[in-house]
Each structure stands twice: as structure tokens, then as C-alpha cells.
Amino acid sequence: MTSDVDTGSSFPLGATVTEEGVNFSLYTKNASRVELLFFESADADRPWRVILLDRQRHRTYHYWHAFVPQTKPGQVYGYRVHGPSDPDRGLRFDPLKVLLDPYGRAVAVPHDYDRNAASRPGDNAARAMKNVVAAPSGYDWEGDRPPRQPYARTVIYEMHLAGFTRHPSSGIAAGKRGTYAGLIEKIPYLQDLGITAVELLPVFQFDPQDCPPGRVNYWGYCPVSFFAPHLDYSSRRDPLGAIDEFRDMVKAMHRAGIEVILDVVYNHTAEGSHEGPTFCFRGLENPTYYILEPDRAKYSNYTGTGNTLNANHPVVRRLIVDSLRYWVAEMHVDGFRFDLASILARDESGQPLVNPPVLWDIESDPTLAGTKLIAEAWDAGGLYQVGSFVGDSWREWNGRFRDDVRRFLRGDDGLASAVASRLLASPDLYAHKSREPEQSVNFVTCHDGFTLNDLVSYNEKHNEANGEQNRDGANDNFSWNCGIEGPSSDPEIERLRDRQVKNFLALNLLAVGTPMLLAGDEVRRTQKGNNNAYCQDNEISWFDWSLVKKHTGLRRFVKLLLACRLDPDRDATDHNTTLIEFLDNAGIQWHGVKIDRPDWGPHSHSLAATAKAHRLGAVLHWMLNAYWEPLEFELPPAPPECQGPWRRWVDTSRESPEDICQWRCAPPVTSTHYQIEPRSMVILVLETGKRNTVTAG
């Protein structure tokens, strides 16, 4: 029955609530007929109402639209779209499949949801995800304002939202473990550690069945919606409740001074390859939303997941920007980390663009101004853009930092010069852009790969639990097990591993740039050697909170490193200092075991440097011995503006609490030389008593 349905409007896209009803609008260019379906619930096997959109009355250009009076938030809906099924032309219409609205704000999942039902011939209504009409604008933000932390004072903590509180040891009530509400209860832990921004693995609604049989997609890099928060992360179970619970979490984070950055996937969807399911885009306008091969029946696969979004098509560009605007304007998100961001630099044939329209759309959009934009500047098709990503405001995950630091601390040859560059925000990669030092997002570990504990405990990956005969995951992790593969009861092995972990943490958190820490590395969380735990929603991936007590010394080490970096007396208001200006003002002097005699040779395993830390009112002298024997380093005399002697702030060879001291309570070093133990790092400090805002760092 459609007699009570008005023509509606092509704008805005999606389901828009008014006092009189709801306007629905959908883009599809080649469809011959569109049906708007209303369901009693997500589990309904057939719609209670079917609204046939008349081609003459309900279509403007390529937009199909209708206004349905008296419809309210909470109405479950979907679409059936008729059109040619002609894969050779790239057209894959299937009128028997219930399709999601690309602009749907909420997604309902039936109890009998089945990914395969969207791949098999026939009707999948009973087992299909469906949308729910939502009116997000009614939420009370209680005066919420984004913290807007400058990058110079930002410490990013990458975490899986559910895995952070899902373990029974979390102390969270069973009904809130693994939820937005559960994370709120752990905010004091983040504050105490010194975290200023959480970077959440994907929280857009994704398909948990996009994985090998018998397992679950845990990470969530398989989106089905770019607007809806993932329902399984809500303790309320109601799709509309999930929207508000997510916002409760953001509001609570902001009250604690912590920003929320979302890991977003605009490079592919859960619809997979040509053999995959039809959830949404494939059944709406396949050649618009995806990059297709010359054989139009096949998808280009620059993502390694079966398909690639056609991000620079005008319709897809608008979808991506509208999604980002929504998460900033309505959900108060502070920034985004773009998974496989180099995909967004490809055109509809897959070729890299010099000035990709979608990236400039994102950068220049006024709603997004001031948000943090972080690129994973590579893709699975071989496009690697670290140091050359387009734009003026993007920061980049520095994969070179990760690899060079890992190899140097492992004991590889030929890396002294490279590591020196990494510790200074990689001027070989970024100085040509006249950008600030914080353009480099420094990290040693992330969700994809070994945890820090496993980096020093395993030579080889151990992914047997993933069911792919250990073929998945990276083969070369630049790791070293310190003598024994896996867990060890040998105290010498454990001491060495602790020392290596502290070396990694000190280099990562104190290097010039924006530091990122993987959740749990501060307490040696392990994945038992699994370096691709994307399908492990269990204790392999969860944060085991008993480790907080077990590794109190290591957690203290991280806290004191960050306490220095985030010293409240530190002035981080200068946003205009370029990397070159910073390096000029730091007055860096490189040394080796002898003063002013750095060893850049291929067999060098040691570095030393003296530098001014203007905003801390101090001079730092640090010495790194990645060699397997002790080395005696000559110390420089105290600079004339300082009153000696040097004080020992950090020595990673020492046991807690002597491995790090309170910044201004470090014990004096009266000798002219300092013996650095094997595979250890020492940082000495002298205060000048003066702080200024000449440089960053």
C-alpha cells in the first residue's frame, strides 16, 4: 500500500526523521525498481509493509526517495532493488536480497544472522542485517567540548574496544564487559598511565562472520555500514541504545581530557570478492562503489580482502566525507586513523593519483577542521607512501620507525644512522615538507603483528589457532626471542626480555614525533606468538588485567616516561615549529663511546647524543648500547648553562624502581664515564632552569 506515501526528497540521503514522519533517499543509477521494506523486528522473515517506489514519482536523477508519514525512530527497514544481473557489465542486482541503506544510522542483527544467506540464491530476509530509523540529534551532550590536544602533547593508545574489558579479570560486571559502557569504567586506568588519546579498532558495524569457518572476525576490518556503531559493543542491545552508549563513552573520555580516534575502513567492505555476499553496495550500484577489473565480473583487490572501494568516484567520495562529518558532528569523535589509506589515492582503474580528490575533500572540509587525520600510508597492492602522503594536515604511521628500531635492538648491522633519523622524527622522510615534528606517528607494535612481549619472546609466528596452517600473518617480524622460543622460567631470559621491552618503550615514547602505544604492552600482554589474531575473540586477544599487578614495575616505567613527556609545566602551544627548526634549535651533538666520535659504520651497535630540551628546561644525554657486551661511554662535560653533575634518569639494565626515577629526583653521576650494560639504554639529564617556547619537543 503506497497511497499514504508522499514523494519525498532526494536530500538528505538515508532515513531522516521529522515531526511528520521519515524521508527515505537512496542512490542507485541502474535500478529498474526499488522497494522500501518495513519489518516488525530484525528477526522477521518477511516485511509487514512493502512500499514500491514509482519510477516517475519517486525518482530524481539517480536518487529514489519517499516520505512516509507517521513513521518514527525504531522502525526496522531495508531495501530490495531490482535491475539487471549482468556481472560481465559489472551489474549485480538481486531483488531477493534485503539491502542495507548506505546512510543508515543504526543496524539491527537477527539472532539467526547468516552471512552465507546473502551469497546463496534466494530470499535472505530472515537472516539479513537490517537498518533502524534513528534520530541522533536528540542526545544531551551536557556542554561536551573536544579536548583538542595538540600533537606535541598527544600520546595515542591503540586498543580493541571490546577486548580491553572482556576478560573476567577486568572487574567489569558481566553485562558490561566488552562494551562502550565497560570502557568508561577503565578511564581512570588510562588517565593514571598518562594517555591523552585512545585509538579504537573499527567500531562501525561490521560482519563478525567474515572469517574462516568456526571462527569470528574480532578486529572488525570488514564494515557493512559507515554510520552505525557496532551493536555487539553495546550493553543495551537495542540499536538506538548503541548510539547513545557510544556517545556516553565519548563524553566520559572528554571529561577525562582523553580524545577518541576511530580506526576507519573506507578501503573495502565485507562484501568480499565476486563470490561474496550481497549486503548493500554490490546490490545497489556495484560499478559505482567498487573498483572493477577489465573483466567487469571481477573486483580489483588492492586491499587483500577481495574488493576495493572506488573512493574517488563522486558518489563514494560524498559517502566517505558525509560519514566522517557525522562521526564528528553527531558523535563528537576527535579524529580518524585511515586503514590502508593509500587506497584513497587510487582512481577508478586503480592507478595512483597525484592529487586524489577524496583526500583533499577530507582535508579541506570545514566540519573536519581541527580533527586528527592519521594515514596508514600504504596498501596491500604495493603502494607505499610513507613520507609522501598527500596533504598538509595528515600525520602518518611511520612503518620505517617500527622496522628500523626493531632491527637495531635485535642486533642487526647497518642501522645506526637510520635509527638516529627515526629518533628525530625521520627528517629523511618528512623534512622536505616543512611540517611539524609530530607528523611522524612513531610505533613499535600495533594490533597487526606481535605484541611487545611477543616481539622479545618469539622468533617465529605461531598462528595455528587461526586454522590456516600458520600461513597467515607476516613471516618476517624482526623479532628476537632472547634465547628461548615462547614463555620461559629462566630468570636471565626474563631479565633480558624486560630490558629489551624497556628499550623499545623508551625509544618509542621519547623519540621526537607522536608516540603510539599498543594496549597492554605496558604490562607485557601476550598473544602466545600469534601475529594475526584477527579471528581470536578469546583470551589470546583480550587484555588480562592480572598482568597489571604482575608487571607493576614496567607499568611504572611507562608512567614516568609519559609524566616527563606530559609535564604540566611544559609549554606545547607552538604549532608552527617545523621539523628543521626543531632540529636546528635542539643543538644535537652525536657521539659514540667517545665524545664527538659517532660510529656510523655498518657494524655499529651503539649511539649517543646530547640535545637541548628547551620546553623542559633541560639538556639530555642518552646512550644506547644494542651490542651483546657492555660498553663504556665517555660523558660530555656539563654545558655552561647547566649546573652539574649529570643525573641518571633512565637505565634500562636496572631493576625497578632503579630503572627510572622521578624527573627531578634522579641520582647524580660523578664519574667521567658510564658503563652501559649489554642491550641497555641510559638517559642522563641536566636542568637549565629555563623554559621557553622556541621549539617543540
What positions carry a catalytic annotation?
Answer: 339, 376
Cell numbers describing residue 75? 522502525
Report the alpha-carbon distance of residue 255 to residue 184 in Å, rounded: 11
The answer to whether residues 214 and 190 touch, using CB atoms and an 8 Å cutoff, is no
Q: Which residue in the block uniquely carries the three cell numbers 644525554?
A: 621
Task: Classify strands 631-634 and 440-442 as parallel, antiparallel or unpaired.
Answer: unpaired
* Sign of the CA dihedral with 522 first, then 526, 530, and 534 last: negative
Q: Could you tell me which residues come within 8 angstroms of residue 322 by beta carbon, excluding any fewer than 6 positions away?
A: 13, 103
- Distance linking the first and last C-alpha atoms of the chain: 66
The answer to whether residues 267 and 311 touch, using CB atoms and an 8 Å cutoff, is yes
Q: Could you tell me which residues come within 8 angstroms of residue 443 by beta carbon, excluding any fewer than 6 positions away?
A: 158, 397, 398, 401, 402, 508, 515, 516, 517, 518
The answer to whether residues 257 and 55 touch, using CB atoms and an 8 Å cutoff, is no
The answer to whether residues 362 and 355 touch, using CB atoms and an 8 Å cutoff, is no
Q: Could you tell me which residues come within 8 angstroms of residue 49 by beta carbon, excluding any fewer than 6 positions away?
A: 1, 37, 38
Amino acid identity at 309: L
Q: Give the closest residue to 79 by CA, choosing from 380, 284, 333, 373.
A: 284
- Cα angle, residue 630 at apex, residues 624 and 633 outer, rounded to 5°: 55
Report the alpha-carbon distance of residue 144 to residue 131 in Å, rounded: 28
The answer to whether residues 77 and 25 touch, using CB atoms and an 8 Å cutoff, is no
The DSSP bridge partners found for residue 686 are 619
Residue 110 CA, chain-centre distance (Å), reads 29
Radius of gyration of the chain (CA): 27
Report the alpha-carbon distance of residue 205 to residue 224 in Å, rounded: 6
Task: Classify strands 76-82 and 130-132 as parallel, antiparallel or unpaired.
Answer: antiparallel
The answer to whether residues 608 and 621 touch, using CB atoms and an 8 Å cutoff, is yes
Report the alpha-carbon distance of residue 339 to residue 221 in Å, rounded: 9
Q: Distance of CA 565 to CAs 151, 155, 513, Å?
A: 12, 9, 11
- Residue 585, SS3 per DSSP: helix
Report the alpha-carbon distance of residue 507 to residue 443 in Å, rounded: 9
Cell numbers describing residue 343? 587506497
Report the alpha-carbon distance of residue 602 to residue 609 in Å, rounded: 19
At residue 467, φ and ψ (nearest 5 deg) are 80, 20
Cβ-based neighbour number of residue 53 at 10 Å: 23
Report the alpha-carbon distance of residue 128 to residue 130 in Å, rounded: 6
User: Which strands, in side-by-side order, build the sheet including 49-53?
Assistant: 49-53, 33-39, 76-82, 130-132, 107-108
Report the alpha-carbon distance of residue 42 to residue 48 in Å, rounded: 12
Q: Give the closest residue to 623 by CA, choosing from 612, 640, 636, 614.
A: 636
The answer to whether residues 76 and 117 touch, using CB atoms and an 8 Å cutoff, is no
The answer to whether residues 131 and 104 touch, using CB atoms and an 8 Å cutoff, is yes
